[in-house]
Structure 1
């Protein structure tokens, strides 16, 4: 993989306007199943862009969720998962007896989402829902599958809208391929 600072421009796969449309459609589907006691838990770092946009879209739809973050890592600066999850920072508030909506940028191996669901259940969440902006194809079954998926992504190395390569390209408004 080329160094992100020397690589040519990434190829746009999903332009900013389509990203906004996907987020608004997700909010319309999620708003009826959450309430003001629901805790939206973003998986850091990549899910932050999506979570910010989705929680604002939910608020516009009248769904005012609480917000927290869980910092998990499976990639580090690599282009493939290391096959294990590191927890860098836990939740800041209790989810005991509350519905939790886990938000992440992309679903590929499923390891981060599965670990987040496990952590929420162990923390006493009454219900755990999951939402990812993008789902990539994978050759093996993954558990759990997300409850809400915004975009069926191609099997390419994605950057932009929170997705990165070694910390670079996250700030792109479009979702792009870097391969």
Structure 2
């Protein structure tokens, strides 16, 4: 079967990705504690969340892990403009600090919805971290508290970012345009 995808152009090699994650962990560690619930936004944020929580553990921060499964893209390259919630928090977050972890801040809709859900569930504080921020979020979206990389306005794949569910597992961040 022929490869149905154009060849990705590497923008951030794996070593640079890991350096950015480590730098983020250094900035985040003083702002959280071991009772913090780190909640990844599935599915794309999983790769970043795994690396980030390990980097935080190396700094003595052993967060409690959870996930929210939200979707705004489906298999499309552009957001549908609405968020579907497939799975909510699994652990209680009332009265706790929550660190929401996402792969990319693009439209900002997923992050805004995750923050809304966490506050509605009684989180004492909600912090947000994204690996990459694209230059065009919607004005109503809250700015992330921590940003690893200012991404170009290109279609990104790898390190959790996908094209119709494919190419998430690439260790580099690449452009597919």
Asked if the contact 1:97/1:126 (under 8 Å) is kept, the reply is: yes
The number of aligned residues is: 176
Give the match for residue 43 of structure 1.
Answer: 41
Give the match for residue 124 of structure 1.
Answer: 122
Deviation at 1:5, TM superposition (A): 3.6
Give the match for residue 159 of structure 1.
Answer: 157
Against the structure 1 CA distance between its residues 54 and 123, is the aligned structure 2 distance closer, same or farther, given a 3 Å change threshold?
A: same
Between the aligned partners of 1:81 and 1:9, the Cα distance in structure 2 is 23
SS at structure 2 position matched to 1:104: strand
Which consecutive unaligned segments of at least 5 residues does structure 1 have?
A: none
Between the aligned partners of 1:24 and 1:40, the Cα distance in structure 2 is 16
Asked if the contact 1:77/1:167 (under 8 Å) is kept, the reply is: yes
Give the match for residue 83 of structure 1.
Answer: 81
Between the aligned partners of 2:137 and 2:174, the Cα distance in structure 1 is 22
Between the aligned partners of 1:8 and 1:88, the Cα distance in structure 2 is 30
Root-mean-square deviation (CA, aligned residues, Å) is 1.2
Asked if the contact 2:107/2:141 (under 8 Å) is kept, the reply is: no
TM-score (normalizing by structure 1): 0.96
TM alignment of 1:63-142, pairs within 5 A: 63-138=61-136, 140-142=138-140
Deviation at 1:6, TM superposition (A): 1.9
SS at structure 2 position matched to 1:129: strand
Deviation at 1:136, TM superposition (A): 0.2
Give the match for residue 15 of structure 2.
Answer: 17
Which consecutive unaligned segments of at least 5 residues does structure 2 have?
A: none
Deviation at 1:139, TM superposition (A): 6.5
Over 6 Å off, 4+ runs: none
Deviation at 1:9, TM superposition (A): 1.8
CA deviation string 1:98-144 (max 9, x = no partner): 00000000001000000000000000000000000000011642421
